[in-house]
Amino acid sequence: MDNRFILGITGASGVIYGVRLAEELLAREFEVHLIVSNPARVVLAEELGWDIEQEVVAACRQGIRGCFENGLFVYENHEIWAPPASGSFRVRGMIIAPCSMSTLAGIANGLSANLVQRAADVVLKERRPLIMVPRETPLSAIHLKNMLELARLGASIVPAMPGFYHKPQSIQDLVDFVVGKVLDLLEIDHDLFRRYEGGSSSGIKN
């Protein structure tokens, strides 16, 4: 259980966050049980150039670096019979990155219409860590209400809002900042960004 995570990639912009997180977890020899929604496959093609005509397992194994033997397990979202749908499938936690507003709403309202929703429902009921990385702007009152409800249920909401105090030089730096924040919540050591160490207060007025 201690080396196993569920990772959902859903149909919001920012699929690179999920792919990069998978790479970082695999590099540390964790098992990654990846669930890819149908809308996510379209975004993977649009944003990363993945061939969605391929069988999804082959596409993920080709697109995600560092897949050590037996480390990456891939499911499609309709496979409601897959292991992550069961509470007896013990995991260290689940991350949804990026998390679409549709997925967020479904989980907040207890739906289990697909594997991502069911796996998240199981993680919540078993009181295991659930981390959601929403990527949407602006946010409506409905979006905010659903995030508040999930936070009250124990989920961690990590909006894809990169910081700039570490002076990013590339898109990769911005992605790594958000992925690093997720790893922090999972209590996994990393050096994906330079941590804030305080600054000069000279010249600053109240």
- Residues of each annotated binding site for dimethylallyl phosphate: 165, 181
Helix (H, G, I), strand (E, B) or coil at 90: coil
Token pair, residue 127, equals 């009181």
Q: What is the gyration radius of the CA atoms in the chain, in angstroms?
A: 17
- Binding region: 11-13, 37, 100-103, 135, 165, 181
Please name which of 76, 157, 156 lies closest in space to residue 119, comparing C-alpha atoms: 76
- Binding region for FMN: 11-13, 37, 100-103, 135
In 10 A of CB 55, how many CB atoms?
10
Helix 15-27 × helix 171-185 angle, to 10°: 60
Helix or strand (DSSP H, E) at 73: strand 72-76
Token pair, residue 20, equals 């990069």
Tokens 């970082």, located at residue: 24
131-151 per-residue burial string, b: 16 or more CB within 10 A, e: under 16: bbbbbbeeeeeebeebbebbe
φ, ψ (nearest 5 deg) of residue 194: -80, 125
